[in-house]
Amino acid sequence: MALPLYLHPFLTLSFIFILYTQTSPHTSSPYIRLPSIQSRSEPVRISVADFGATGDGIHYDTVPIQSAIDACTAAGGGRVVFPPGKYLTATVFLKSGVVLEVQKNATVYGGTRLEDYPVEQNRWYVVVAEDAEDVGITGGGEINGQGLEFVVRFDVRKNVMVSWNRTGACDGDECRPRLVGFIRSKNIRVWDVRLSEPAYWCLHLVQCDNTYIHDMSIYGDFNIPNNDGIDIDDSNNTVITRVNINTGDDAICPKTYDGPLYNLTATDSWIRTKSSAIKLGSASWFEFKQLRFDNITIVDSHRGLGLQIRDGGMNMILDYITKIYL
């Protein structure tokens, strides 16, 4: 007897579906338009060490890192290189035309203090691009949010976490920094990098267009709450492929908080999560169109596919679904 989807210990999903609001006209189509990341020359390579980064994991390297990024974009774009080392930093802002090359045996560590992040809570990231074009992260190294440093009390069911709402800096009980964010940006590529130990969400796309995430890994402690793998908010033309996600909360979580989401493809990936491998319906008030999930292996997860009516998700209809293999 086949187990229900949410109880199965090991499964591979292959399906295509289109989700839309009841009031929206729509014509079903299995066709998914993939983003086309344009190749561009990268004439500039700038090392953060040349701007004074120590890479000792003790002293903050925020100023040298940001200076290298600013110099790179001013020169027309290229790569900002992190040689092997440990780079402790407050928020750094990725600029147009710049790819961060975090090399093998290099780790960028996010700070654990409130003062390491901007005043505005929606800008709390270790690395963030705002209104940028042609940006990316690669190199074979790691960006680490030091999520375990935010644990107040360890618990096998769910760790109790620090919340900066006690300072008045934010509202709610999920007041911790995310790891990497792309906000209102386009032509984004993230590959050959490990994003690990976020204190909150790991990789966040907000109102972005043309994003390619491939051949990379995400790791979050299994007992840390709210450490989602990839959250895709109101973002279009996104491809996720050959990605390994191992985390304590939802792994791939599309949302339509302020606008619709269309053309999302996730394929050939491996997911382990304490929550939903793929979840739709949270923080969603607008339509989803042309979503494809194909050949995704899911292990040790509470739910393979979660469709929820929760803080949004009203009047949603599942229009097209096929090829579900257990």
Compute the distance between CA of residue 201 and CA of residue 221 in angstroms, rounded to an integer: 12
Q: Which of 246, 250, 247, 248 is nearest to 231 (CA)?
A: 250
User: Residue 216's pLDDT is what?
Assistant: 98
Does residue 237 carry a pLDDT above 60? yes
pLDDT tens string 182-223: 999 999 999 999 999 999 999 999 999 999 999 999 999 999
* pLDDT per residue as tens digits for the range 129-181: 999 999 999 999 999 999 999 999 988 888 889 888 878 888 777 899 999 99
Q: Which residue has the tokens 């990839």?
A: 230
Strands 194-196 and 276-284: unpaired
3-state SS class at 166: helix
Please give the model's pTM, rounded to 2 decimal places: 0.86
Do residues 260 and 291 touch, judged by C-beta distance below 8 A?
no
* Span 281-296, average pLDDT: 83
Question: What is the CATH architecture assignment of 10-322?
Answer: 3 Solenoid (2.160)
Instruction: Quote the pLDDT of residue 194.
Output: 98
- 62 against 15, higher pLDDT: 62
What span, in angstroms and rounded, lies between the C-alpha atoms of 198 and 147? 5
Q: In this structure, what token pair is assigned to residue 113? A: 């203090």
- pLDDT over 70 for what percent of the chain? 82
Q: Which residue has the higher pLDDT, 311 or 89?
A: 89
Q: Express each pLDDT in 69-118 by its tens digit.
A: 999 999 999 999 999 999 999 999 999 999 999 999 999 999 999 999 99
Mean pLDDT taken over the chain:
85
pLDDT score of 27: 37
Least confident stretch, 13-27, 41-55, 203-217, 240-254? 13-27
Res. 312 pLDDT band, cuts 50 70 90: low
Question: In the predicted model, what is the mean pLDDT of residues 264-269?
Answer: 94
Q: Is the dihedral of CA 113, 163, 161, 226 positive or negative?
A: negative
Q: Are 249 and 278 in contact (CB under 8 A)?
A: no
The confidence score (pLDDT) of residue 138 equals 98
Please report, as a single letter, which amino acid is at residue 203.
Answer: L
Which tokens sit at 182?
Answer: 């792309």
- In tens, the pLDDT along 118-139 reads 999 999 999 999 999 999 999 9
Residue 313's pLDDT is: 55
Is residue 204 classed as helix, strand or coil in its secondary structure? strand
Nearest to 269 by CA among 291, 250, 242: 242
Cα three-residue angle 319-321-326, rounded to 5 degrees? 150
Q: What per-residue confidence (pLDDT) applies to 169?
A: 86
Alpha-carbon distance values, 282 to 7, 77, 118, 191, 255 (Å):
21, 37, 26, 27, 6
Per the DSSP assignment, residues forming a β-bridge with 307 are 280
pLDDT at 1: 40
